[in-house]
Amino acid sequence: MQKLVLPLLFSFFTALTLAQAQTRSVSGTVTDKGGKPLELLTVALEGTVLGTNTNTDGYFEITGVAPGIYTLRVGGVGYGTLQQEVDLTNSDATLDFSLSQRQNALQEVIVSASRNLETLDETPASVYVLDSRTLQLQAQVSPNIATVLANTVPGLGFNSNTTSNVGQTLRGRNVLVMVDGIPQSTPLRAGGRDIRTIDPAAIERVEIVKGATAVYGNGADGGLINYITKQANTSKPFSAYTSVAGTGMLLHSDDTFGGRISQQFSGKIKAFDYVASGTYEKTGVLKDGKGQVISPVYGLGETKMYNGFAKVGYTLSANHRVEAMYNYFGSRQDSDYILQEGKYAETPSIGVKGETQGIDEGTRYNHNAQLRYTGKNLFLNTDLELSAYLQSFYTVYGWTPYFENGGQSTILSNKKGIRLNLNTPFDISPDAQLNLTYGADYLNDVTSQPLVDGRTWVPEMELNNLAPYAQLQLNLYHDFIFKAGYRFDNVNISIPDFTQLVLSSGAGGDAVTGGTLDFNAHTFNAGIRYAGIEAFKPFISYSQGFSIIDVGRYVRGATEDYISQMDIEPVIVNNYEAGFHSRFGKLAFSGAYFISTSRLGANLKANEDGVYAIERAPERVQGFEAVADLFLTDKLTIGASGAYTEGKTDLNDNDEYDDKEDSYLNGTRIPPLKIISYINLKPVERLNLNLQWIYSGERDHFGRNAKGGYNSGEGPVSSFHLVNLSSTYQLSDKLNLTLGVENLLDNAYYLPQAYWYGRDDNFTRANGARFQIGASYKW
């Protein structure tokens, strides 16, 4: 690593020394067609690290620009994008822009999902962007980010209304969750806590790449979710945003009241910009549509959540910038209720007054920190990004009699990593441009699963992963976009000698000799999109991703005496996809069909005694997604999305998936049909109403086991539907009032996890009608 980093640092300081002292500035205003100032639109000089946002008067100013000719980009969600050449060779410049509102301009959003900035509409893959406006709208219904994603992203499974995201897969496979590129998932011991690791108040947008991808490494065989944190408001030296809200059940409201408060500060002072926020939330008791207290097991009721976030940046020159980010997330439950088991498929499990055994369940801390340097127009016009990060995560699970004398398990994970990303453009001809993105990633991950009392369930495992990669993008005739790439992951996992934990059943106590597991993963991708016709922009793609099976789950109950004897070969997934984006006037429509296959699987199966094993048979998952938005008028928009996924395992390994020996993948992997529709109405200028209807279908592929019940993951799933409401009233230019209602019709329904678990204790209803009423003020 020294051979890699030291030359980069030398190049960095050399470039700073050669930076020109004489600088220019560009300023101006941005208004709509009626002359009204547009606030918080993005204004940036392409090819540099310089940019800003318009202030409340629509004014912008970019300073510290080296003399030269640039392209100025102005735009934002809902307004499209304008580009204009600006000559700063001999003097400053002043420019004014007028933008037309285009509610269907989302596809012009610039995304970084491929590690190279590009427009969403020209990406030869399925990428979904949850922009800041939609994120705020959904967070009015529920600030739980797992719920927000489930209610918006086609192809993503439903959340469980608990702290766990088990079963919330993407296209039936694992999803890699990141915060600004920092991995949150714990593949060495998957604990199901990686989606709910940050509060929406700290998120600018969410980028979701669908289908197997290795662009960020291990764990994304179904895709990745990247939380992009808040950016500084650079239009003024100081600004602030305060948000407060009260929550509770709309009906059966006793003991259900809670609230949240969030405070943000942001600004830019000369070359220094900053944004910082803090959020605190306390929930009351959660009740279902019948007024019964929902089971407190890993519940979101009676929970305190804390999130602290800060990001500071310093623009050294037009081409050089450094930035530091830190985020803390914590969540702890302190409930006065304990579980009263119901009867599966008959009566729900509920919470009743009682004293909980053990210490409070929840995530004690999730620390994320990152230091990033960005350089533009270096050697051969290369852009460079070098970042170092760390993540430290500790969560406590509930007390269980599963262990000898009972106990509580935890997961402790610490990650450190370095990412080097370079992008070099080549102009082959006037009609052909080539971009080469290349670099290397290094990750060190140390994860264990001890019990609160110090006993070891999973020993401290250490992973080291070094991965060089290269990605080529070729633009032909401005309409054909071709991409191809390769990544090589070299993975080493060290596991010490340990003795398996004794369980209440008497199992365990076996000595296991530790060792080292080494393997390589070669992954490829290729795709092409045609973007020449607005009405039809098709793409086809092939991509691979890989993931390590849950090593900790395997070794803690393995029958082998030596680590070297264990079958922990990674899963390599092949994703084949065809899709399109289309626009016909006021209609925006997109769709995709996909097939993903893997020679080895990692399906988690349980027998009638509840003992889990990892099924390593070949798998095939396929499905389709469709999204449509119709912008009828400036005041009325309607839309819908649908996603269907199905998967099977080839248990007799004969390349056929319809033999009687073969089996469907269970509910931990495959979600039922999901349909989401909405209507957005602005009856008056300052009022915005959004009504959302969500439907989840049935799925029933498995029979009862020898004991007359269902194996975990195989219970038949029943359908449900619900209606959510979110609304905003702009009382003044600075003050907004909000109201959100989850499950407006107060349906007494069950989420898919309640059914497919097939167990009495997990058969719990979802929330009844729950409100969130609040106010926000811009300082």
Highest mean pLDDT out of 103-112, 120-129, 746-755: 746-755
Determine how many CB atoms are found less than 10 A away from the CB of residue 644.
17
Which own/partner contact pairs does 315-318 have at CB distance under 8 Å and 24+ positions apart? 315/49, 315/50, 315/64, 315/271, 315/273, 316/16, 316/19, 316/271, 317/16, 317/19, 317/64, 317/66, 318/23, 318/45, 318/48, 318/49, 318/50, 318/64, 318/65, 318/66, 318/376
Is 84 within the bounds of a domain?
yes
- Residue 93 sits in the same domain as residue 233: no
Out of 102, 136, 168, pick the residue that ends a domain.
102
The whole domain housing 377 covers 224-778
Nearest CA to 467 out of 434, 494, 444, 436 is that of 444
* Res 560 pLDDT > 50: yes
* Res 10 pLDDT > 70: no
**CATH number for 83:** 2.60.40.1120
The string of DSSP letters for 526-585 reads: EEEEE-S-TT-EEEEEEEEEEE---HHHHHHT-S-SBGGGS--PPEEEEEEEEEEEEEET
Predicted confidence at residue 110, as pLDDT, reads: 63
How distant, in Å, are the alpha carbons of 252, 345, 434, 442, 558 from that of 439?
Answer: 56, 52, 17, 10, 37
Give the phi and the psi of residue 555 in degrees, each rounded to 5: -75, -30
Rounded to whole angstroms, how far apart are CA atoms 544 and 434?
23
Out of 70, 102, 134, pick the residue that ends a domain.
102
Q: Collect all residues with Cβ–Cβ distance below 8 Å to 573 and sequence separation of at least 6.
A: 173, 212, 221, 222, 544, 545, 546, 547, 596, 597, 598
Confidence category of residue 108, pLDDT binned at 50, 70, 90: low
**Residues 702 and 711 sit within 8 Å (Cβ to Cβ):** yes
3-class DSSP state of 331: strand
Predicted confidence at residue 80, as pLDDT, reads: 67
How distant, in Å, are the alpha carbons of 78, 149, 198, 281, 512 from that of 144?
Answer: 26, 9, 9, 11, 40
How distant, in Å, are the alpha carbons of 28, 53, 109, 179, 263 from that of 38?
Answer: 12, 10, 17, 29, 23
Is 219 within the bounds of a domain?
no
Total domain count, the chain = 2
pLDDT tens sequence across 322-362? 999 999 999 999 999 999 999 999 999 999 999 999 999 99
Out of 102, 117, 141, pick the residue that ends a domain.
102
* Res 33 pLDDT > 90: no
**Residues 234 and 268 sit within 8 Å (Cβ to Cβ):** yes
Nearest CA to 59 out of 88, 100, 31 is that of 31
Rounded to whole angstroms, how far apart are CA atoms 165 and 163?
7
**Residues 398 and 358 sit within 8 Å (Cβ to Cβ):** yes
Nearest CA to 248 out of 278, 279, 282, 280 is that of 282
Q: What is the largest CA-CA distance in the chain?
A: 84
User: What value does the mean pLDDT of the chain take?
Assistant: 91
Is 757 within the bounds of a domain?
yes
> Between 115 and 493, whose confidence is greater?
493
> Between 705 and 549, whose confidence is greater?
705
pLDDT tens sequence across 521-557? 999 999 999 998 989 999 999 999 999 888 898 888 8
pLDDT tens sequence across 60-102? 888 888 888 898 988 776 676 788 889 998 889 999 988 876 5
Predicted confidence at residue 616, as pLDDT, reads: 84
**Residues 551 and 189 sit within 8 Å (Cβ to Cβ):** yes
**Mean of the pLDDT values across residues 681-706?**
95
How distant, in Å, are the alpha carbons of 30, 33, 161, 235, 567 from that of 96?
Answer: 6, 12, 48, 16, 64
How distant, in Å, are the alpha carbons of 34, 168, 293, 451, 719 from that of 410?
Answer: 58, 21, 26, 6, 34
* Res 111 pLDDT > 90: no
Is 110 within the bounds of a domain?
no
Is 392 within the bounds of a domain?
yes
Is 516 within the bounds of a domain?
yes
Rounded to whole angstroms, how far apart are CA atoms 201 and 75?
23
Supply 737's token pair: 């009032």
Confidence category of residue 34, pLDDT binned at 50, 70, 90: confident
pLDDT tens sequence across 250-294? 999 999 999 999 999 999 999 999 999 999 999 999 999 999 999
**CATH number for 232:** 2.40.170.20
Confidence category of residue 21, pLDDT binned at 50, 70, 90: very low
**Residues 213 and 223 sit within 8 Å (Cβ to Cβ):** yes
Predicted confidence at residue 125, as pLDDT, reads: 86
How do the residues of the chain divide into helix, strand and coil, expressed in percent and rounded to 5?
10, 55, 40
Rounded to whole angstroms, how far apart are CA atoms 546 and 176?
11
Is 139 within the bounds of a domain?
no
Confidence category of residue 40, pLDDT binned at 50, 70, 90: confident
Q: Please state the pTM of the whole predicted model.
A: 0.92
Q: Find residue 464's DSSP bridge partners.
A: 444, 492
Residues above pLDDT 90, as percent of the chain: 74
Is 95 within the bounds of a domain?
yes
